[in-house]
């Protein structure tokens, strides 16, 4: 069984997923990291944040390769994005060709207060991110909800919206683990 857990950069997904991993029998696979490793191996990018700036055909080919690999795994949580904000607009993080390979049972959209997300991003020196205003972060979270609903229509999988309250990632993780028991 495969589930997707997503959220905008800075929502606290990595922290929550670390707790979920300890409380469940699921492995965590980061879709973007897998795509990055594939792109890096053929010298297309030097850091992960360059992925979204590659031409569309290259991104599609990387998505296809990564989704094919993940689609052969069982009991995995796919850490990815519902949508990718690019210089050309929002791209689907899980287009039809990816969904077909993944066969997702449930989508989880992790959300947090946009001002909190902005502060987290400013403190994170490990990534090279574009500067987003609070209203842009809010918009991106809303777009993620729309994309999750659209993916659900296509796949028949459930959608879950989980709030990651500042300083309480265990609460979000507990909700996710509780709902994972009903996925199948």
Q: Which helix (H) or strand (E) holds 57?
A: helix 56-70
How far CA 119 is from CA of 84, 100, 116, 123, 132, in Å, comes to 20, 36, 5, 6, 11
Separation of alpha carbons 161 and 163, rounded Å:
7
Annotated binding-site residues read 7-15
Tell me the binding residues for ATP: 7-15
Q: Are 46 and 40 in contact (CB under 8 A)?
A: yes
Burial of 102 (0-12, 13-18, 19+ CB in 10 A): buried
State how far the alpha carbon of 38 is from the alpha carbons of 118, 139, 142, in Å.
29, 30, 30
């Amino acid at each position: 069984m495969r589930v997707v857990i997503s959220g905008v950069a800075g929502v606290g997904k990595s922290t929550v997923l670390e707790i979920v991993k300890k409380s469940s029998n699921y492995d965590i696979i980061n879709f973007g990291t897998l795509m990055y490793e594939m792109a890096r191996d053929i010298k297309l990018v030097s850091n992960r944040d360059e992925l979204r700036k590659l031409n569309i055909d290259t991104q599609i080919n990387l998505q296809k390769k990564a989704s094919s690999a993940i689609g052969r795994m069982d009991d995995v949580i796919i850490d990815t994005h519902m949508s990718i904000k690019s210089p050309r607009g929002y791209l689907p993080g899980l287009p039809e060709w990816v969904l077909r390979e993944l066969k997702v049972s449930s989508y989880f959209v992790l959300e947090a207060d946009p001002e909190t997300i902005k502060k987290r991003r400013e403190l994170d020196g490990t990534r090279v991110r574009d500067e987003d205003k609070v209203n842009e972060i809010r918009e991106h979270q809303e777009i993620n909800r729309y994309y999750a609903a659209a993916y659900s229509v296509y796949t028949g999988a459930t959608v879950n919206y989980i709030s990651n309250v500042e300083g309480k990632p265990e609460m979000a993780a507990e909700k996710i683990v509780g709902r994972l028991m009903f996925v199948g």
